[in-house]
Amino acid sequence: MLRHRTASRLAVLGLLGGGLVPLTAAPAGATPGCLEETAPSVLQNGCDDSTPPETTLTPSTAPNAAGLVAVSSMTFTLGWEVSDGDPGPFALECRLTGGPQAHGWRACTSPVTYADLPDAAAGTYVLEARAVDAGDRARTPDTAPLLPPTVPDTPDEDPTPATFTWGQDTTAPFVFVTSTSYDEITPTQPVVTGASVPIRLNSSEAGSRFECTDNDQPVACTGGRWELPDPAAGRHRFSARTIDAAGNASAWSPAIEFFVPRNLTRQRGWKKVTGPGYFRGDALKASRRGARLVLPRAKVGELRLLAATGRGHGKVRVRVGRRAWHVVDLAGPKASSTQHVVIDRYSGLRSGRIVIETLSRRPVVLDAVVARPNRFPAAQR
């Protein structure tokens, strides 16, 4: 809004009748609608442009929801806007709070850049910018030498500077992935028989989140002790990365490997039994000689049989394709599910259908099968 200062009452001194007699004159008013401040005359106050310019500020990088950017250099495009058609000239002033490059109000030009800033918490850096009516700032329109001032001079800079606040984090975190599954036979590729796979995820930066993949497929995960639920049968390669509050992502972790057995499905001569000690809660039982289970064709470098043991349990024989039979004796201390290595991983690779056959009428309870190629993971440095 434009307003003009009204000239104060004029007191003119004259010599009348040998004495000083005060005379008065009507107030001298300024013309409405002035866009520039005018200097005062001897008998009249100047005109005050009371509408300062407004400031615009656009950052090169916007902070995320945490108030952080992941770059060490910030550039700001500054400008001004006027609502009254004032032609100017205009100028800009900037002030930076926080960090080693902090400074008070000083002249600046657009764009203004602050480079090589050190990382700092959200809210550390505050840039303020204000537009200035440079043509009017040097003038004070209310200083007529013979007149008292009427109203204070309106400031000629934006009274509400454009403000931008941010913090900075340019350092990527580190991720730590630890498998807590243990397998004495193959420690680097453990066989996991539980309903879920326990994994511990940690980041070098508190408050970071995690992204995970299982066999290159994304899976939801959380930091700390976490469990991959209901993994499918077969080989698994699990990897994770951590992302800090600024959005910096770590490298993907080296994959950890584990293997989930194949649950057995009922075939002729076998019946399904259930119990909490079995893999996936069920197993197959046979009590006659010659009962067979035939599994799909596979490449096998290691073969394990998960089966119940107990006094009076019988024997089975197992082979892959047309290779030799391997006999497994299931008599022993009572246990719902015990792992029996039929073919160790150092015996070479073979392929074909996996056949399991009972050798007597003694009871046999089979739980699951581990059949996998003898792949070895790459050495970890």
Token output for 262: 């194949």
155-169 per-position pLDDT tens digit = 788 999 999 999 999
pLDDT digits (tens, 9 = 90+) for 338-369: 999 999 988 899 999 999 999 999 999 999 99
Give the DSSP H or E segment for 137: helix 134-137
Strand partners, 128: 95, 163
Residue 76: its H or E element:
strand 74-81
Residue 148's Cβ-count burial label (10 Å; 0-12, 13-18, 19+) is exposed
| Helices and strands per DSSP (H, E), number in the chain | 1, 27
Quick one: CA torsion of 100, 106, 111, 112, rounded to 10 degrees? 0
Question: Do 187 and 211 contact (CB within 8 A), yes or no?
Answer: no
Confidence of residue 84 (pLDDT cuts 50, 70, 90): confident
Rounded distance, CA 372 to CA 364, Å?
23
pLDDT score recorded for residue 50: 73
DSSP letter string over 311-369?
TT--EEEEEETTS--EEEE-BSS-EEEEEEEEE-TTS--EEEEEEEEE-SSS-EEEEEE
Q: Compute the average pLDDT of residues 268-276.
A: 94
Judged by DSSP in three states, 175 sits in: strand
pLDDT 10s digits, 28-78: 333 345 666 565 565 656 666 678 899 999 999 999 999 999 999 999 999
Whether the predicted pLDDT of 13 surpasses 80: no
Q: For the segment 100-157, what is each residue's pLDDT rounded down to a tens digit? A: 999 999 999 999 999 999 999 999 999 999 999 887 777 766 655 566 666 556 778 8
Cα angle, residue 380 at apex, residues 379 and 381 outer, rounded to 5°: 115
pLDDT value, residue 6: 34
Confidence of residue 23 (pLDDT cuts 50, 70, 90): very low
Q: What is the pLDDT of residue 137?
A: 77
Q: Cis peptide leading into 111, omega within 30 of 0? A: yes
